Structure 1
């Protein structure tokens, strides 16, 4: 079919004008807006800004070794090692900065000292034996230090120090300088490294410090609430009369909270490692039992696994309404008790005080265990006239509750032991 063109009298053709775009706005404004939004809505975003400002302050302070003539006269070009030290060891958490700084100092001292001895020995031998001595010492110390980095305990605490040791030892022993010059260079570099480390400690510990111990403590406390909410959400989804849209929302919510708890193992181990290096601050003293936090975190992950496995019960949503109605009231009561106990334990850890019913939680859990057994007997004996497939959901739910009760008993004991080791005060 041919198209028809209709002319409009008196109409003028106006060319389309291309809308002007501000390239500067398009490039820089969206990231700035996102940055400001993150600061406003997210505590972690504010801490990132604080850390960035602190890093800038540390770099300015250490750059004074170059900018001020009296300081430059004393340190000369070795001031570059101080700047490198700040760049390499200044970390987000105060404990991480302290850990890397001490590791760098130990690695430099050991590597430089042993390197000087090896260089002096090689100079004393002289001739062709000099290269042989250097090669043997480099092989022995390099291989030994590399092997030590694969040992779990050393890797977790001193991996950076071992790497610095290998680097420093090789630089010193292979340099080929005379022993006197080696000692002089090692002394100058070590002094500037110490200056950089001092600047990092000053800024990291005294200017709005960000403690790994606080992060670990708050993260652990939040998981108690996540699991309590997830448990109640599943119970509401399984027994409650909600529509499909609400059911999907509840399911996604409780699954996401459980999965967030499951993915905390590496974070806990990293934060505990940094927290052990931190000095006495706030409510955390020296030799604080951070190992208990790892144990409690492990128990919480086990509990999250059990709660997440409850989703399998929803697969049997077609089972008899009579069976489900029979178990609804006692199951909801038990879930409410478990959720309340989780919140009480979390509050106890958060406030570092013994909760009011902490001494009674274990005994209460034993009572809950008996109630779960009664439900199990009721669902298997009282409903024998129904097909076995109808009771799979309730049976799975009851078995999971038995596991939860056992894990809760262990968790309560761990929290009680943490309170004893840390001296939790009584709740007035």
Structure 2
């Protein structure tokens, strides 16, 4: 059989495969690039939401300002239109749940404060007359109700959801009871102010809930799911760094963006609690109904923060000046990388399950895989001869590294169970 010769132009380069035994250097920059691109996308989306929120607040202010600008409306409400403008400025928040929470708290505090203040003022006039007795009764009522309402603001359960309403109650009660107006004037003033406050509240709720609403529940749901992905990327990046043979470049090549992802998870407690509180005020919308298990999201967030501390401990192992020898690290490389891949895969599966609101096969797939990995690590740690005596610093370092991996496996198992409980309570669909 004759051979066929194909001519190749000189300016065309051929991509030849690498030698079979040659391995590519780990490309840690890939993780940094992915995380950086995701952060830039999230930042642009957040900027657009901030711009949209600003436009919505400005629109609400224009609408309530019509009470001043249009003569027919001004004749009905008069200078009390200022209370509608103040209501918009005070209660219009970024999230719809926060706006609804503040609005209802303000309305409830105003009504209760007005009713109680009017009752106390009427009682003081009937019993104490117009002399010193009136002042004594008014002062006593201010002391009792003001102190009781202030104490209620220190109760954690009340402070979390009704702190603003208690503050408005104190303000309204004192303004009404100390005003010294006659009872009928107090009623008229309360009616006019409540009506204008109601107008401002209605405008805020209409725009916040119906015009491109920003739901705190969506934010909490997506941010919790993204934390799984962030931690999975961090585990892969840190493990890849740990087993690099070039000790001199270990610190320099560690991508700071991965470390920032872990720290953002670690510092998310206050934000998660605020979002969960606002989400409980929001009405039925989209895939979230009433009595959705938001408290479970807080428990998952707490476990994710505990896992983030363990992942950051891996960074401490990387930056330690007393690194184990290359041969000792290579002895645990294969099982450790297998554990790292299992951890990352499990976290991504759990995050995707939460994001898509579908049941995750953790009982049949995730948990058995994690338990088998944990048994393999335990067998590595048990024989002391593998790592040398306890006085050996290198042996202690590598044993600490393996111990952290074992703790991370147990934490991911707890996360799998929590996500499964969320699926049961929230009614996640099956695959």
Could you tell me the TM-score, scaled by structure 2's length?
Answer: 0.86
Give the match for residue 141 of structure 2.
Answer: 137
1:371 and 2:376 matched: yes
**Residues 200-215 of structure 1 correspond to what in structure 2 (within 5 A)?**
200-215=204-219
Residue 42 of structure 1: SS of its match in structure 2? helix
Give the whole-Å Cα distance in 2 for the aligned partners of 1:301 and 1:88: 33
Query: Which consecutive unaligned segments of at least 5 residues does structure 2 have?
Result: 1-39
Q: Take 1:47 and 1:68, find their aligned partners in 2: how far apart are those partners?
A: 31
Matches within 5 A, 1:326-341: 326-341=331-346
Q: What does the per-residue CA deviation read over 1:369-418, in whole Å, with 9 as the maximum and x for residues that have no partner?
A: 1011112135x223548972221221011111111111111111100000
User: What is the CA-CA distance between 1:366 and the residue it aligns to?
Assistant: 1.5
Does residue 193 of structure 1 match 2:187? no
Cα distance between partner residues in 1 of 2:144 and 2:415: 47
Q: Which residue of 1 aligns with 2:220?
A: 216
Task: Give the counterpart of 1:115 among 103, 106, 117.
Answer: 117
Specify which of 349, 355, 359 is matched with residue 354 of structure 2.
349
Structure 2 residue aligned with 1:33: none
Give the one of 296, 299, 314 matched to 2:303.
299
Cα pair distance change 1:242/1:55, threshold 3 Å: farther
**After the TM superposition, which residues 77-156 of structure 1 pair with which residues of structure 2 at under 5 Å, given as runs?**
77-125=79-127, 126=129, 127-156=131-160
Q: Is the 8 A contact 1:230 1:253 kept in 2?
A: no
Superposed CA RMSD in Å reads 1.9
Q: 1:255 aligns with which of 235, 254, 259?
A: 259
Q: Is the 8 A contact 2:360 2:420 kept in 1?
A: no
Given that residues 362 and 416 in structure 2 are in contact (C-alpha distance below 8 angstroms), is that contact kept between their aligned partners in structure 1? Answer: no
Query: Does the 8 A contact of 1:115 with 1:173 survive in 2?
Result: yes
Bigger shift: 207-216 or 349-358?
349-358
* TM-score, length of structure 1 as denominator length: 0.87
From 34, 43, 46, the equivalent of 1:44 is 46
Please point out which of 55, 60, 63 is paired with 1:61. 63
* 1:269-418 equivalence runs, <5 A: 269-314=273-318, 315=320, 318-357=323-362, 359-378=364-383, 380-384=384-388, 388-418=392-422
- Provide the C-alpha distance between the structure 2 equivalents of 1:279 and 1:49, rounded to a whole number of angstroms: 24
The range that moved more, 98-107 or 79-88, is 79-88
Q: Is the 1:39–1:45 Cα contact (8 Å) retained in structure 2?
A: no
The answer to whether the Cα contact below 8 Å between 2:244 and 2:250 also exists between their aligned partners in 1 is: no
Mapped contact 1:303–1:404 kept (Cα < 8 A): yes
> CA–CA distance in 2 between the matches of 1:242 and 1:283?
50
CA distance in 1, matches of 2:401, 2:295: 32
User: 1:42 offset after TM fit, Å?
Assistant: 1.1
The CA distance in 2 between the partners of 1:243 and 1:388, in whole Å, is 19
For these two proteins, the number of residue pairs brought into alignment is 389
Deviation, 1:251, is: 4.8
* Partner deviation per Cα, 1:189-246 (whole Å, 9 max, x = no partner): 1111111100000110111111111111111111101111111111101113457557
What SS does structure 1 have at the residue aligned with 2:98?
helix
